Homo-oligomer: A and B are copies of this chain.
């Protein structure tokens, strides 16, 4: 079966990428653009930069010590996308492999002399993931042989060594290779890499051992820490090892780390990592919007981790975070044309980029993505993630299908064939149409924010949607932790989590999920110092932001009144408008004073006059150099501590208050 992650056990079973076919829509469009544009873009840049030439022995060697890994990430993307350039690129790589399986264009003469920073095992990890992707989409060939020789070399060399690699990655790769081939040594090698970390297994570095998670054994660590991508890749490998070895303690440890990380070290976008200096998480509640690092690769890695935990546990919160991160980090990092990228994904930018002249730059920021980077993990990571995006959409086994992410497409599992039709994330209706019937359960995820969601199902009636409501109620089953809907005339109210419908499905029947899409104000936990006095707007799974380009009103002197946002449909998307208050710039003076009620120590009191346009965060930075804010100061502090009036739910036509009544304890979406 073709899927990047195929555990031998767990609550949910992945489907093959061929069993989930995406149609045009939010994700289908991006997957197609990735295959048609981004993959070739990456290959061209790596030829131009000489990173591919390194494999041909061209000298002087070019690129950073880990540049080989970029070619491997691209090979993985090519494998999932069945890209025609793969065999030739794999041939180039294969020629650089040494007789005993060693393969690295930088360290050949001085193998494993700098495991802390050398990235040799990290590079193998990506090579092995590419090999697994090729094996599962195509079958054995030159690339899979190269990957297997490298994996066996690693097992021979490191099985009885006490060390590991400064950058985790090989752990999950070796487990996946074991899953693909059944060779126990690969699992055992992965297990040992996970277990020896933190004993410690590496030398001292000036950034401290927590930087590469060598400060504590994985199973004893309370939270993800240090370099965000390293921490998340390691956690992925630990979950994989735990699942394959039945190590419940290790799995629980990573679940607890995820929980605390999400509660204290995650930005509203799902972005992870607050520090530029060491690309690290930072302390609990250290979540600055302007200096958020939120590296694109950390977003990719977070989706990988949440997906693994979802498969292992079936808990909807993992799919919730994956959705948040896919829409607000992964989709945000790449330009609408698929040819430039953000490396960091901050939630506020105060200074627009200098307009670029001449050749493309290697630095992104201030609203300008870059076509390439000196360290170019992000573009290639985006390429392999979008090439395998269907893996995150649905799972299934036997007669059951669980749909986690809503985007147009078709899903086949067992006897069932389903078509998903939706304008999500712009509109909240999701129609699942049965193409080929069968007996089984269809589960749909209701996101945590979707209080007031409704479900209907049955055969479409000519008489109108009302006919759906009365049917099938007795067939709705409660299954494991999945929640059951309650009856309602216009459809049954369903609570966040998974709603399950069990039935003998006939072709032509449908399930309708209606998710409430009213924009909502969101406030930060008081412990997050950097966000105090601010609010943000979300709508469905999307985080919104204010953007200022060129002569548009500046954001530095802007505050907002948290009244219900108005919708402004725009070119197939939904923009929003909120009420703002513009402060007047003050002359430069010492910015600390004794009078909090006087400018410049607070925003002008009273109502607005300024309309503030908000766009989906993932679309920012597509109009040139810009400033941007997700979190907006609340104009009148007295307003900020009282809830905003309840808005009408513009999507379903129902007052949001109805939903409040049926879901005590859940958060409202006002």
Contact = CB atoms under 8 A, between A and B. Distances in A.
A526 B594 contact: no
A653 to B, nearest CB: 21
Contacts of A559: 526
A523 B595 contact: yes
Contacts of A532: 532-534, 633
A522 interface: yes
Given A291-B291, A350-B286, A526 B600 contact: yes
Interface stretch (A256-264, A438-446, A462-470, A606-614): A256-264
B633 A637 contact: no
Contacts of A98: none
Interface in A575-629: 583, 586, 588-597, 599-603
A534 to B, nearest CB: 7
Contact of A597 (B534, B586, B596, B643): B643
Contacts of A631: 529
B529 A601 contact: no
A530 interface: yes
A646 B111 CA distance: 71
A94 B272 CA distance: 52
Interface residues on A, range: 35 or more
A638 B533 CA distance: 12
A520 interface: yes
Interface stretch (A234-242, A275-283, A545-553): A275-283
A268 interface: yes
Contact of A276 (B277, B533, B602): B277
Interface in A626-656: 631, 633, 637-638, 640-643
A350 B291 contact: no
A535 B643 contact: no
Interface in A1-50: none
Contact of A594 (B283, B351, B600, B667): B667
- Indicate how many identical chains form the complex: 2
Given A363-B208, A557-B527, A264 B591 contact: yes
Nearest to A527: B556
A641 B637 contact: yes
A638 B605 CA distance: 13
A641 B597 contact: yes
Given A590-B448, A595-B643, A529 B668 contact: no
A290 interface: yes
A609 to B, nearest CB: 18
A288 interface: yes
Nearest to A588: B263
Contacts of A260: 588
Interface of A: 206, 208, 259-260, 262-264, 266, 268, 275-277, 283-286, 288-291, 348, 350-351, 363, 374, 448, 520-530, 532-536, 556-557, 559, 583, 586, 588-597, 599-603, 631, 633, 637-638, 640-643, 667-670
23 contacts: A264-B588, A266-B591, A275-B277, A283-B290, A288-B530, A289-B529, A291-B291, A348-B529, A522-B592, A523-B594, A524-B591, A524-B601, A525-B586, A526-B559, A526-B633, A527-B556, A527-B557, A532-B532, A533-B533, A594-B643, A594-B668, A596-B643, A637-B641
Given A522-B592, A526-B602, A597-B641, 12 more contacts: A208-B363, A262-B590, A275-B277, A276-B277, A284-B556, A285-B556, A348-B529, A522-B593, A523-B596, A526-B583, A526-B600, A526-B633
